[in-house]
């Protein structure tokens, strides 16, 4: 069994006063924790452990903000019209920047001559929605998810802004499977633990947690299959276990054919990426054996665990803080009434790449959008929506 170790440095007035070592063992579908992404909810500092990790090379303490010299950020995010992205290159090199939409299309690609140190670019998106920024060079390979709330006249732009030399502060050194990570009393730390396709997401308070020998046991849940033979990834988030993909089965668990399902825009290729859209009269007993449609209360539990306000950004696939839920903005079919109960004079597919709705118990819908706040909705009127399941 492989162990991954995270050294947490407790900071008072930005000086290291003492440290503790957290050890992660695993069980379940995998007995190896291959990677951990740790994020301080307060500061946004993120470190990744994957075989090797980082240790502070300092005996006198160091300002918390200088610990992470590889940080890649987009600000503001969400943004209106344009956002600024900062990243670190470790040599003078050509770096390719891509802006990709939620269905994998490259909207714009540009090569820039990055110089050693911190570089900045400015990116504009063509319309409101979620986008992936891919930064790739010899010394860097980073991805960021960004959200545009107001478009820039339908055009995509990438502009290189500046460079700031940062190499002169060598605050870290490489060592095997250890990393120093700073926190103060009251901080909560998001831990995304990964082993291949298996993911477990935990939020810890290292100051309050009382684990024997500071050892955390990570349980990786196995994949699940439906009657049709589709195999789905799962993710553990706190005490809940979710199927981390949208349902795509055309059969109930007992083998009966499901009626009324659809793919977005009647395009069969959307099934593999986004799953199927199901009408309300087809969702009873639709979940694979041992699973069920979530209740609003279970989604509220998920929201609270992920931090409440803005928790939706942790649900989105490939976001900088994603928890492994991997929500896809699969769109919805709006029938004769909107989920809010308002009559709809123009039934249609809407929202691919910008919004999604999941069926919940009681024939209700939970709505998530890249632009608007999540909300709980009535689910009638011929609406067809996605299905996400939670373990019994």
Q: pLDDT below 50 — which residues of the chain? A: 1-3, 10-19, 51-69, 164-177
- pLDDT score, position 6: 57
Spell out the domain ranges in the chain.
4-58+170-220, 73-164, 224-391
- pLDDT score, position 237: 96
- pLDDT score, position 4: 52
- What is the C-alpha to C-alpha distance for residues 273 and 327, in angstroms, rounded to an integer? 11
Q: What is the pLDDT of residues 37-83, one digit of tens each?
A: 888 888 787 877 764 333 322 222 222 333 334 567 887 888 888 88
- pLDDT score, position 212: 65
Tell whether domain 73-164 is in CATH 1.20.950: no
Cis ω for the linkage preceding 130 (within 30 of 0): no
HSE (side-chain half, CA atoms, 13 Å) at 274? 30
Residue with tokens 């605050």: 171
- pLDDT score, position 62: 26
Tokens of 219: 């349980």
- pLDDT score, position 50: 63
Tokens of 130: 């979620």
- What is the C-alpha to C-alpha distance for residues 266 and 284, in angstroms, rounded to an integer? 23
pTM of the model as a whole: 0.66
HSE (side-chain half, CA atoms, 13 Å) at 320? 23
CB 144 within 8 A of CB 133: yes
- pLDDT score, position 20: 57
- pLDDT score, position 296: 93
- pLDDT score, position 218: 86
- pLDDT score, position 45: 79
């Amino acid at each position: 069994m492989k162990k991954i170790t995270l050294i947490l440095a407790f900071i008072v007035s930005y000086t290291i006063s003492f440290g503790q070592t957290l050890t992660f063992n695993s069980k379940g579908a995998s007995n190896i924790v291959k990677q951990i992404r740790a994020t301080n909810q307060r500061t946004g500092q993120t470190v990744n452990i994957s075989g090797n990790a980082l240790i502070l090379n300092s005996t006198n303490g160091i300002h918390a903000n200088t610990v992470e010299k590889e940080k890649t950020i987009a600000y503001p995010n969400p943004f209106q019209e344009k956002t600024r992205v900062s990243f670190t290159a470790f040599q003078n090199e050509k770096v390719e920047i891509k802006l990709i939409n939620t269905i994998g299309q490259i909207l714009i690609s540009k090569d820039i001559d990055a110089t050693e140190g911190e570089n900045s670019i400015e990116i504009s998106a063509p319309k409101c929605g979620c986008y992936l920024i891919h930064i790739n060079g010899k010394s860097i390979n980073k991805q960021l998810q960004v959200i545009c709330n107001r478009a820039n006249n339908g055009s995509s732009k990438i502009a290189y802004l500046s460079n700031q030399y940062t190499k002169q502060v060598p605050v870290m050194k490489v060592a095997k499977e250890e990393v120093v990570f700073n926190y103060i009393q009251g901080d909560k730390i998001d831990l995304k633990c990964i082993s291949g396709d298996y993911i477990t997401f935990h939020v810890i308070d290292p100051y309050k947690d009382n684990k024997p020998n500071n050892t955390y046991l990570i349980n990786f849940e196995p994949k699940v299959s439906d009657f049709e033979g589709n195999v789905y990834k799962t993710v553990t988030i706190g005490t809940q276990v979710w199927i981390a993909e949208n349902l795509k089965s055309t059969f109930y668990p007992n083998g009966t054919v499901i009626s009324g399902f659809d793919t977005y825009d009647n395009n069969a290729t959307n099934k593999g990426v986004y799953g199927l859209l199901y009408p309300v009269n087809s969702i009873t007993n639709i979940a694979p054996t041992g699973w069920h449609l979530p209740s609003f209360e279970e989604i509220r539990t998920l929201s609270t665990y992920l931090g409440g306000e803005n928790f939706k950004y942790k649900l989105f696939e490939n976001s900088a803080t994603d928890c492994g839920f991997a929500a896809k903005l699969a769109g919805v079919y709006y029938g004769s009434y909107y989920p809010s109960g308002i009559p709809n004079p123009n039934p249609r597919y809407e929202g691919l790449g910008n919004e999604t709705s999941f069926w919940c118990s009681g024939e209700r819908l939970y709505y998530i959008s890249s632009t608007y706040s999540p909300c709980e909705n009535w689910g009638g009127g011929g609406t067809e929506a996605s299905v996400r399941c939670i373990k019994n």
